[in-house]
Amino acid sequence: MKAIIVEDEFLAQQELSWMIQQHSQISIEACFDDGLEVLKYLQNHRVDVIFLDINIPSLDGMLLAQNINQFAHKPLIVFITAWKEHAVDAFELDAFDYILKPYHESRIITMLNKLEASAQQQLAQPQTQQNAPQTVNLVKDERIIVTDINDIYYVEAHEKLTFVYTRREAYVMSVAITEFCNRLPEQLFFRCHRSYCVNLSKIREIEPWFNNTYLVKLRDLDVQVPVSRSKVKAFRQLMRL
């Protein structure tokens, strides 16, 4: 993987570069201390990952990430910052990870391992599947949790918030359920109700309910998810009922 570091503190830049070289096969192609210089560089160079500080001159890290997200080829972005309050904004930009300063070597190693595993996974997939998302970013206690898509059991709307449930955790996302469900692969998740979206692979039991609808019971969780009348026909087709 090719990477660049965007960090205006020289010592922090050198420390991060050293840890990346020591603990991964990622190649550091260049280092920058200015956001506009990064945009100029990316016009003629393709990289796989950007280690990006938020507080940098000319163009701050958040604005730079917004610009990069418009690229046809979107490098993975790992934010490196002393400001934990930007974590939710980073999630909205689909950041791969969010590292707080001062660096902890074990945390950096974990992140690097995830990056390389993600790259290997992409290479191992058939070409036709490489554009399908494999992970989704969830927020917990101002931390971004990079979560395997298949770990999500179901999603539930609560007014303008969306609750996302895995086997052991519940995450509260500050986006509408429609926006969140658009990040999930259609072949795996079904919007079974205005307020619910379910992982089809987690369904354990389908129970008939009133007005020819269904209640869906999930593996590992003591929960029942409704299928609305408007979704019954599509649900029957998916489940071959």
Which amino acid, 189? Answer: F
Beta-carbon contacts of 154 under 8 Å, excluding residues fewer than 6 positions away, are 165, 196, 197, 198, 199, 202, 218, 221, 223, 225
Token pair of 87 as six digits: 């974590």
**What pLDDT is stored for residue 129 in this prediction?**
47
Please report the pLDDT score of residue 226 as a whole number.
Answer: 95
Please count the helices (runs of H) and the strands (runs of E) in the chain. Answer: 7, 15
CATH architecture of 139-239: Beta Barrel (2.40)
The domain 2-129 belongs to what CATH superfamily?
Answer: Response regulator (3.40.50.2300)
pLDDT in tens, 203-228: 999 999 888 899 999 999 999 999 99
Question: Measured over all CA atoms, what is the biggest interatomic distance in the chain, rounded to whole angstroms?
Answer: 66
- How does strand 214-218 pair with strand 203-208? antiparallel
CB-side exposure of 152: number of CA atoms within 13 Å?
30
Tokens of 44: 């003629």
pLDDT digits (tens, 9 = 90+) for 125-163: 554 444 555 888 888 887 888 889 999 999 999 988 999
As annotated, the residues of the chain forming the CATH 3.40.50.2300 domain(s) are: 2-129
pLDDT given at position 238: 84
57 preceded by a cis bond (ω within 30 of 0): no
Query: Residue 102 has what pLDDT?
Result: 87
| pLDDT attached to residue 190 | 94
Each residue of 151-201: pLDDT tens digit? Answer: 999 999 998 899 999 999 999 999 999 989 988 888 889 999 999 999 999
pLDDT single digits (tens) 43-99: 888 999 999 998 888 888 888 888 888 777 789 999 988 877 666 666 667 788 888
Quick one: pLDDT band at residue 101, thresholds 50, 70, 90?
A: confident
Structure confidence at residue 164 (pLDDT) = 96
Q: Euclidean distance between the first and final Cα of the chain, in Å?
A: 46
Instruction: Cite the residue boundaries of each domain of the chain with CATH code 2.40.50.1020.
Output: 139-239
Distance (Å, whole) CA 44 – CA 141: 38
